[in-house]
Amino acid sequence: MIALMATAAFTANAQNIQLHYDFGRNIYPDEEDGRQKVTITLEQFKADKWGSWYYFVDLDLSRKFFRSAYTEISREFKLGKESPFAIHAEYNGGLGRDEIRSFQHAALLGGAYNGHNADFSKTWSVQLMYKQFFKSYDYTSAYSSFQLTGVWGLNFANKKCTFSGFIDFWRGENWRPGHEGHGMLVILTEPQFWFNATSHFSIGSEVEISNNFIYNTYNDKSFFINPTLAVKWNF
């Protein structure tokens, strides 16, 4: 959930908290029988004279406890005061109550191209990075990869509506029986639409669309669409 990177990429500081109700388990009761229904997301963007910091944390809830926590933290260094190019460094990882719901840790390093239109109502970023996965728990292994990321933000209808999101492409290792150790292309995108009722409060939805991303041992299905209903508070 990295929509804030685009929508706030040219402000000094922005922070929000989101509450999502996920319908994935209702749509795929067999393939995603263990999927969480409620996620709290906290994200923040902060610019400085060197570039910017960005992070988000997803906390997946069950009825009795937090099931898992996942975070992405990135730092960009501008290559010149007016240059759209930047050096991008990032960490991805998290913890869960068991290995199935844990996240393999990874470090990324590469370049970014950031842009906007004249009134900053449209912002975008493209990042190409080397990605190093680390052995994080049993049945994982360290390996080298790549990631291509696109991030966008669009404010319209007099800033009452926001369309934002990201799309990631990276090389993962196939975990399916008989294919272990082979590479596969993973695709993940999470477009968000928000109606901004006030400058602080928004209501909307996020749709997670993925291929080769969901850990599914029930059958061979690899493509999933998981929508949410969400509220957001902008600080």
Q: Where are the alpha helices (DSSP H) in the chain?
A: 4-7, 24-27
How many CB atoms within 10 Å of residue 129?
A: 22
Here the tokens at position 143 are: 């390996």
CB atoms inside a 10 Å sphere around CB 125: 23
Instruction: Kindly report the number of other CB atoms within 10 A of residue 223's CB atom.
Output: 11
* Amino acid letter, residue 165: G
Q: Which helix (H) or strand (E) holds 167?
A: strand 161-173
Chain center to CA of 120: 22
Beta strands in 13-142 (DSSP E): 13-22, 38-47, 51-61, 66-78, 85-96, 103-116, 122-133
Compute the distance between CA of residue 62 and CA of residue 67 in angstroms, rounded to an integer.
6
Can you give the pLDDT at residue 10? 47
Each residue of 104-115: pLDDT tens digit? Answer: 899 999 999 999
Q: Which portions of the chain are predicted below pLDDT 50? A: 9-10
Dist CA 156 CA 176 (whole Å): 43
Show Cβ contacts of residue 50 under 8 Å, excluding neighbours closer than 6 positions.
77, 78
pLDDT, residue 101, reads: 60
- The contacts of residue 48 (CB under 8 Å, 6+ apart) are none
- Dig out the tokens for 9 from the structure: 């990429």
Please tell me the pTM assigned to this model: 0.91
Q: CA distances (Å), 191 to each of 4, 62, 205, in order?
A: 11, 24, 8
The pLDDT, as a whole number, for residue 82 is 87
